[in-house]
Structure 1
Amino acid sequence: MREQRRGRSIAMTRDEVGVFLDAERVCRVATIGADGHPHVVPLWFVWDGSALWLNSVVRSRRWADLRRDPRVSVVVDAGDDFDELRGVELFGEVEVASEVPRTSEPRPELTDVERRYAEKYSGTPDFVADGRHAWLRMRPAAVVSWDFRKNPALKPRRSG
């Protein structure tokens, strides 16, 4: 994975990226449409420490875009005020990582991902395949992160 060069002073550590991606619930996935224009959609996800797992509807523009061109950029961000902004952008290619659509057939390679996904979004360890979604896995070629809370120029100064 390519190392971040710019903004290193506010970059998250690898551990901070993991904690952040585990806590956040929505990512924005950018694909390349058939017309060459970007298409950006929100999606739920799971981070396993080395790959981003996306559970996507298989009859969607996003799915069609990714089957034609697997390149993707994904952003997860948080914060309201400028000095609290933080986020992660992941670049890479996706691969189909389950049957299409996903059935309830047990798949040992998906057990951990599906348990984590179910716990994150339904509060139970039981993943239920709905026959409309399938798994995409992205092992990022590059990760860029920022955490403006680390910027000393933005820290409140005491008067005194």
Structure 2
Amino acid sequence: MTPRIVVTEDDFDLGSEADMLEQGPDTGAVVTFTGRVRDVAGGLRHMVIEHYPGMTERALTDMATQAATRWPLSGVTIIHRHGTLAPGQRIMMVGTASRHREAAFEAASFLMDYLKSRAPFWKKEVTGDGADWVAARDSDEDALDRWRS
């Protein structure tokens, strides 16, 4: 199983990505999660997402490989956008495929927790009042505790 890792400024087609994950002959379950830009406090004009090419792809590949060693996966897709994104636009997608739903759900949850706290992306929210970098949250770090063992 070779993970599909895409870091791009372009939007993606969720249906096409899920279809690709369904192609394995032993695939019985596909789980997808899509993250979108949301205007939590009101007044968000856009979000700017930055990353270091090469480093980012290696980190995402490592996360996908860790998931594949913990669960019997037939496919993993991680897509993360960068650049300027407006409220409502897709930021990212995680997709996992396995023979059984439990492995697909667990692996997707694992990847989401690691992406939220360990992926090398930097996010800046731009409002009418200025711009602020999005800080890491303790709750994101706490979510990793269940996977440490």
Query: Normalised by the size of structure 2, how large is the TM-score?
Result: 0.25
The structure richer in helix per residue is: 2
Could you say which structure has the larger radius of gyration? 1
